[in-house]
Amino acid sequence: MAPAIVQNISSRLHRMSQSAADKENYTQREDEKTKLAEWEAEKRTLEPNEVAQSPDEKPVGHSSKYLRREDFDLIKTLGTGTFARVWLAKIANRKEKDNNKVFALKILRKVDVIRLKQVEHVRNERNVLASVAGHPFITTMVASFQDSDTLYMLLDYCPGGEVFSYLRRARRFNEATSQFYAAEIVLILEFLHDRQGVAYRDLKPENILIDADGHLKLVDFGFAKKVDNSKNIFGAVLNFDADTKTGETYTLCGTPEYLAPEVIRNTGHGTAVDWWAFGILIYEFLVGQPPFWDQNPMKIYEQIVEGKVRYPSAMSQDARDIIGGLCTVDVSKRLGNVKGGSATVKAHPWFKNIDWDAVYHRRMQGPIVPHLKSADDTRNFDEYDAEPVHRDPYTKELQSKYDQSFADF
Amino acid sequence: MSLPSEYLNERNALEREILKHRPSDVLQFSYNHFSKRLESQRQEFILGQRHSSESGTGLSNPFGGTSAPSNKKVMNSTIREEEEHDDFASPTATSFPPNARDNSNNMASNSSGGGGFGNFGNFGFSPSSGSSSNPPPAASSGAMEHPQSFPNNYNMNRRTSVSAESLAPTSADDSNWKAPQYPKTADQVNRLRDAVAHNFLFSHLDDDQTAQVLGALQERKLPTKDMRVITQGEEGDYFYVVEQGQFDIYVSKSGKVEPGADGMGNKVATNGPGTSFGELALMYNAPRAATVVSTEPSVLWQLDRVTFRRILMDSAFQRRRMYESFLEEVPLFSSLSNYERSKIADALETTKYPAQTPIIREGDVGDKFYILESGEAEVTKRGEAKPLKHYGKGDYFGELALLEDKPRFASVTSTTEVKVATLGKDGFQRLLGPVESIMRRDDPRKNEKK
Ligand SMILES: Nc1ncnc2c1ncn2[C@@H]1O[C@H](COP(=O)(O)OP(=O)(O)O)[C@@H](O)[C@H]1O
Ligand SMILES: [Mg+2]
């Protein structure tokens, strides 16, 4: 904990040197911190129509002008993804009663974001997370903020860890477990596609977390993107990312084993890519590895474009049928993307035992409920190397070129 | 003084449940809650026991810690071979590639080279069709017939995401981007065509796209031997085809070129004219999986990712635009929204007919609708000496077949080579529902009455 103490002291020193204007901000900050703690106590998820409200009216998802890095103690690294580091965080200088209030703080360095060409993606991530905040199966972004060289997203902490860890440990899930998790994911995709017009584009077990009650939370909206179905000129099924006039663009992105054929072939893509990936995910749940794999990624892509899924002999007919329907190369025939959309997936026989209303309202008991010693227990997360000391500086030059793009973060 | 945190945690969980369910019988509810907690904890514990006893690493935590991306921690246990009583056989259980068993024991080190893939595999060089020095790659005939192409040594580590640069489709109004065209002899074009023919990234292209892609390949001369074309571990933006000369391919176990004389690692192959390498760079900029060095003065053709993907994207985009504008002209579809029309545009299938081929036959029961994409056709009817009509680009026919199962009223025959885009009744219904109900929204007769 030594570093945390040092941070506290330095943040106190920092505060003492603040001007009058900053003192006013100080009260605002304290105010925000109190609200954070209050929200954490209940972590109330919202009904679909509440989620749809604008972020200004919701209790969560706003861009904070007052919060700072110094308002949090970073306890431990929970994960390092492709672009970011995520920390278990507590409110700094907290009152005793707020000791068990925990968050996950996703930290992105602006230099890295620029170097990895993720500027547009990070903006999408923040905006999508803000507009979906409150959904029962999506990690809630409580607030976002930034300082001169870093972007922060404050998320609710999902203490169960990644579904990935459980899956690798168990080797594979049985059919009931797979159905339970798949059902929650169907509701996520239904919500993202039909209510939000968002394609998620990076579905995989690494990005699916388990919360304290054993339910799923989707994290990492780094590739999520609004694809306006109603008025765009390219259509939703095959979407080049909405309106070209506003300078919107198209990107190959995702995870090799989960890429849809239309992404590989660069013929334009939309929400249908998530249904493809969902088929791969069910397969990986049931079998323990995805259907298309090779040491050489080009060979994976060749298999994907070919689209022939091979099933283990013991797999049930219904499971084969739903995977086959989802992993259909022709998007106009892909389950989930045909007339009826997500409803056709929900109506599939593989889900015949699922009560969808009970799923949404979290009335079903999950197969894995994490047992924690305390709210800040991180036993379900791996150990990660410390952050490298050397960091490329966010130069004045970069600043003048890019700060505009981060302005509303 | 203070209550144990574990207790506080359990209490909070119960309180959340109570707030959510607002039970009338609090005591019974709490009892049930804790009994469920106990049950699931036992299950977790038992599952953890089984796995940790298998692995011999008695972890206190039954679930945590599979593999850290740092690769410091060696995977514990999960990559065992199939347990006998498993419900599912692995898709690969029947066939082990020669090295699979070994690999499964050191998965962590296997992936340390980056990208989470084996080293050499990442590189994907392909032998020329004529050369016998390298075995031809397994044809892309699909895994079904080739069970051995399913590797058992699946990499169990976390997978990282990939992403390429953003491209904005060249829209019709500001279409100033054109694929670069570098002049080539007919011979060179043919050789290039052969060289990329077996590569799935190219074999799916239509004639137009192929012509653009081949045209965009640019000559690169390597005047001496010992010139490095690509370097293992570095990011790659180009794909190459060998026109002339010879190249040695080296792979270093560490995933990148090390300092010193043997820093490039072992020589694994020599490639000559007609071979190609570096194709993964056409997808995104992953680190190169091998080093390629000229062994004599040589000539390459190179193509960069952005140009390649742009060609694919723009042509797909232009085709959509074309279909959508054709569809707008069809009165039957006038009641559809843009969104619905673009869904149809998506599902259209292209077919080619040589000149003088019947496309629709009078009297047949039709179930398809056609748009003439290019070429010309004529309409004839038995008993009529002259054609009733001529069709050109953008004309459509057979649309009534979507509505009713009547025999075709006349025949349509191609007069030149034609390309038609078609959509069947079933395809239409799959996308938009029953045709009749869609059409009824805007039945012209209904409007007349008003
Ligand atoms: N809300 C959260 N609670 C707990 N752990 C999290 C949370 N969000 C992310 N993580 C952990 O951090 C990892 C990386 O986060 P992610 O958002 O996927 O970053 P990246 O965009 O870099 O891939 C995740 O895989 C997960 O293990
Ligand atoms: Mg991630």
Measured between CA atoms, how close is B388 to chain A, in angstroms? Answer: 35
Backbone φ, ψ for residue B414 (5° rounding): -70, 140
Kindly report the protein residue whose alpha carbon is nearest to atom 23 of ligand 1.
A81
Q: How far is CA B328 from CA A117, A236, B337, B371, B399, in A?
A: 38, 17, 10, 12, 13
Residue A9 exposed, middle or buried by CB count within 10 Å (0-12, 13-18, 19+): exposed
Q: A50 and A58 in contact (C-beta within 8 Å)?
A: yes
Q: What is A255-277 written as a DSSP string?
A: -GGG--HHHHTTS---THHHHHH
Residue in chain B nearest A77 by alpha carbon: B68
Side-chain-facing half-sphere of B115: CA atoms under 13 Å: 28
Active-site annotation holds for A382? no
**Taking residues B340-355, what's their average pLDDT?**
86
Place of tokens 């060095």: B293
B81 is annotated as contributing to ligand binding = no
Set of chain A residues whose Cβ sits within 8 Å of the Cβ of B158 = 164, 206
pTM above 0.80, yes or no: no
Measure the CA–CA gap between A125 and A115, rounded to whole angstroms. Answer: 17
Q: Given A71, A112, A202, A241, which residue is catalytic?
A: A202
Does pLDDT of B117 surpass 70?
Answer: no
The reply to whether A119 touches chain B by the CB within 8 Å rule is no
**Taking residues B80-95, what's their average pLDDT?**
36
Measure the CA–CA gap between A30 and A32, rounded to whole angstroms. Answer: 5
Best A80, A228, A289, A301 residue to mutate vs chain B (most B CBs within 10 Å): A289
- Predicted pLDDT of residue B429: 80
Set of chain A residues whose Cβ sits within 8 Å of the Cβ of B70 = 383-385
Summarize pLDDT for B148-178 with one digit per residue, the tens: 334 457 878 889 899 988 877 765 445 567 8
Summarize pLDDT for A159-174 with one digit per residue, the tens: 999 999 999 988 899 9
The reply to whether B164 touches chain A by the CB within 8 Å rule is yes
The sign one gets for the Cα dihedral A65, A69, A70, A74 is positive
Separation of first and last alpha carbons in chain A:
30
Lowest mean pLDDT among A43-47, A400-404, B311-315: A43-47
- For residue B315, give every residue at least 6 positions away whose Cβ sits within 8 Å of its Cβ, in sequence order, or none: B206, B208, B209, B212
Binning pLDDT at 50, 70 and 90, where does residue A140 land? very high
Q: Is A83 in the pocket of ligand 1 (CB under 6 A)?
A: yes
- Predicted pLDDT of residue B400: 79
Kindly report the protein residue whose alpha carbon is nearest to atom 22 of ligand 1.
A81
**Cβ separation of B309 and A252 shorter than 8 Å?**
yes
The three-point CA angle B109-B111-B116 to 5° equals 165
Residues linked to residue A162 through DSSP beta bridges, in sequence order:
A209
Q: A236 and B148 in contact (C-beta within 8 Å)?
A: no
A22: which 2 tokens?
A: 């900053």
Residues 256-315 of B with CB under 8 A from A: 279-280, 283-284, 286, 309, 312-313
Binning pLDDT at 50, 70 and 90, where does residue A34 land? confident
- Predicted pLDDT of residue B265: 92
Place of tokens 């590797």: B151
Q: How far is the CA of B38 from the centre of ligand 2 (A)?
A: 32
Mean pLDDT over all residues of chain B?
74
Closest by Cα among A29, A267, A180, A217 to B311: A267
**Taking residues A133-149, what's their average pLDDT?**
93
Set of chain A residues whose Cβ sits within 8 Å of the Cβ of B320 = 234-235, 238, 268
Best A163, A209, A240, A337 residue to mutate vs chain B (most B CBs within 10 Å): A240
The three-point CA angle A338-A341-A343 to 5° equals 130
Instruction: State what percent of residues in chain A have pLDDT above 90.
Output: 53
Q: Is A185 in the pocket of ligand 1 (CB under 6 A)?
A: no
- Dihedral class, residue B10 (left if φ above 0, else alpha if ψ from -120 to 50, else beta): alpha
Residue in chain B nearest A372 by alpha carbon: B6
Query: What is the bridge-based pairing of β-strands A208-210 and A225-226?
Result: unpaired
Measured between CA atoms, how close is B123 to chain A, in angstroms? Answer: 7
Kindly report the protein residue whose alpha carbon is nearest to atom 19 of ligand 1.
A81
Place of tokens 């026991």: B49
Does pLDDT of B417 surpass 90?
Answer: yes
Measured from the alpha carbon of residue A104, the closest ligand is 1
Better-predicted residue by pLDDT, A127 or B445: A127
Summarize pLDDT for A231-278 with one digit per residue, the tens: 333 333 334 443 333 344 678 999 999 999 999 988 878 899 999 999
Measure the CA–CA gap between A373 and B180, rounded to whole angstroms. Answer: 63
**Cβ separation of A332 and B347 shorter than 8 Å?**
yes
Separation of first and last alpha carbons in chain B:
83
Measure the CA–CA gap between B338 and A244, rounded to whole angstroms. Answer: 16
Q: A327 and A180 in contact (C-beta within 8 Å)?
A: no
Does pLDDT of B356 surpass 80?
Answer: yes
**Cβ separation of A375 and B8 shorter than 8 Å?**
yes
Measure the CA–CA gap between B438 and B434, rounded to whole angstroms. Answer: 7
Summarize pLDDT for B14-55 with one digit per residue, the tens: 998 898 889 999 999 999 999 888 887 776 666 554 443 333
Lowest mean pLDDT among A69-73, A185-189, A227-231: A227-231
Q: Which alpha helices (DSSP H) does B56-174 contain, by range?
A: 100-105, 107-110
A209's enclosing H/E stretch is: strand A208-210
**Cβ separation of A297 and B280 shorter than 8 Å?**
yes
**Cβ separation of B140 and A302 shorter than 8 Å?**
yes
**Cβ separation of A339 and B37 shorter than 8 Å?**
no
Kindly report the protein residue whose alpha carbon is nearest to atom 18 of ligand 1.
A220
Closest by Cα among B297, B282, B411 to B357: B411
Lowest mean pLDDT among A285-299, B63-77, B227-241: B63-77
Kindly report the protein residue whose alpha carbon is nearest to atom 8 of ligand 1.
A219
Binning pLDDT at 50, 70 and 90, where does residue B72 land? very low
The reply to whether A369 touches chain B by the CB within 8 Å rule is yes
| CB burial readout A313-347, b (16+ within 10 A) else e | eebeeebbebbbbbbbbebbebbbbbeebbeebbe
Q: What is B363-422 written as a DSSP string?
A: TSBP-EEEEEEES-EEEE-TT-SS-SEEE-TT-EE-GGGGT--PBPSSEEEESS-EEEEE
Q: How far is the CA of B251 from the centre of ligand 2 (A)?
A: 29
Set of chain B residues whose Cβ sits within 8 Å of the Cβ of A164 = 66, 158
Q: B200 and B142 in contact (C-beta within 8 Å)?
A: no
| CB burial readout A168-201, b (16+ within 10 A) else e | bbbbbbebebbbbbbbbbbbbbbbbbeebbbbbb
- Predicted pLDDT of residue B238: 95
Does pLDDT of B437 surpass 90?
Answer: no
The reply to whether A221 touches chain B by the CB within 8 Å rule is no
The residue type at B386: K
Closest by Cα among A189, A326, A355, A166 to A261: A326
Residue B207 exposed, middle or buried by CB count within 10 Å (0-12, 13-18, 19+): exposed
- For residue A58, give every residue at least 6 positions away whose Cβ sits within 8 Å of its Cβ, in sequence order, or none: A46, A50, A51, A133, A134
Set of chain B residues whose Cβ sits within 8 Å of the Cβ of A332 = 343, 346-347, 427, 430-431
The reply to whether B176 touches chain A by the CB within 8 Å rule is no
Beta strands in A56-169 (DSSP E): 62-63, 72-80, 85-91, 102-109, 141-146, 150-156
B37: which 2 tokens?
A: 């907690």
**Cβ separation of B68 and A384 shorter than 8 Å?**
yes
| DSSP-assigned letter for residue A365 | P
**Cβ separation of A256 and B159 shorter than 8 Å?**
yes
The residue type at A55: P
Query: What is the bridge-based pairing of β-strands A141-146 and A62-63?
Result: parallel
What atom of ligand 1 comes closest to residue A206's alpha carbon? Answer: 25
Binning pLDDT at 50, 70 and 90, where does residue A146 land? very high
- Predicted pLDDT of residue A26: 81
**Cβ separation of A240 and B337 shorter than 8 Å?**
no
Measure the CA–CA gap between B277 and A298, rounded to whole angstroms. Answer: 11
Lowest mean pLDDT among B107-116, B228-237, B346-355: B107-116
Closest by Cα among A64, A45, A14, A398 to A215: A45
The reply to whether A229 touches chain B by the CB within 8 Å rule is yes
How many interchain CB pairs under 8 A, A with B? 298
**Helices and strands per DSSP (H, E), number in chain A:** 14, 11
Backbone φ, ψ for residue A129 (5° rounding): -60, -40
Q: Which alpha helices (DSSP H) does B143-252 contain, by range?
A: 186-197, 200-203, 207-216
B279 is annotated as contributing to ligand binding = yes
Side-chain-facing half-sphere of A156: CA atoms under 13 Å: 29
Closest by Cα among A95, A90, A144, A138 to A377: A90
Q: Name the residue among B156, B164, B346 with its Cβ closest to that of A251.
A: B164
Q: How far is the CA of A175 from the centre of ligand 1 (A)?
A: 26
Place of tokens 């081929």: B357
The sign one gets for the Cα dihedral B358, B362, B365, B366 is positive
Substitution site in A220, A258, A376, A387 for ligand 1 pocket (most atoms within 8 Å of beta carbon): A220
Measure the CA–CA gap between A407 and A127, rounded to whole angstroms. Answer: 13
Does pLDDT of B103 surpass 70?
Answer: no
**Cβ separation of A297 and B67 shorter than 8 Å?**
no
Measure the CA–CA gap between B241 and B278, rounded to whole angstroms. Answer: 9
Measure the CA–CA gap between B293 and B312, rounded to whole angstroms. Answer: 30
The reply to whether B140 touches chain A by the CB within 8 Å rule is yes
Summarize pLDDT for B247-261 with one digit per residue, the tens: 999 999 998 899 888
Measure the CA–CA gap between A381 and A159, rounded to whole angstroms. Answer: 8
Does pLDDT of B135 surpass 50?
Answer: no
Better-predicted residue by pLDDT, B155 or B95: B155
**Taking residues A331-336, what's their average pLDDT?**
91
Summarize pLDDT for A76-133 with one digit per residue, the tens: 999 987 789 999 999 988 888 888 899 999 999 999 999 888 898 999 999 999 999 8
The length of chain B is 450
The reply to whether A95 touches chain B by the CB within 8 Å rule is no
Measured from the alpha carbon of residue A162, the closest ligand is 1
* SS3 (DSSP) at A306: helix
Does pLDDT of B106 surpass 80?
Answer: no
Does pLDDT of B435 surpass 50?
Answer: yes
Residue in chain B nearest A222 by alpha carbon: B161
Measured from the alpha carbon of residue A203, the closest ligand is 2
Binning pLDDT at 50, 70 and 90, where does residue B424 land? confident
Does pLDDT of B63 surpass 50?
Answer: no
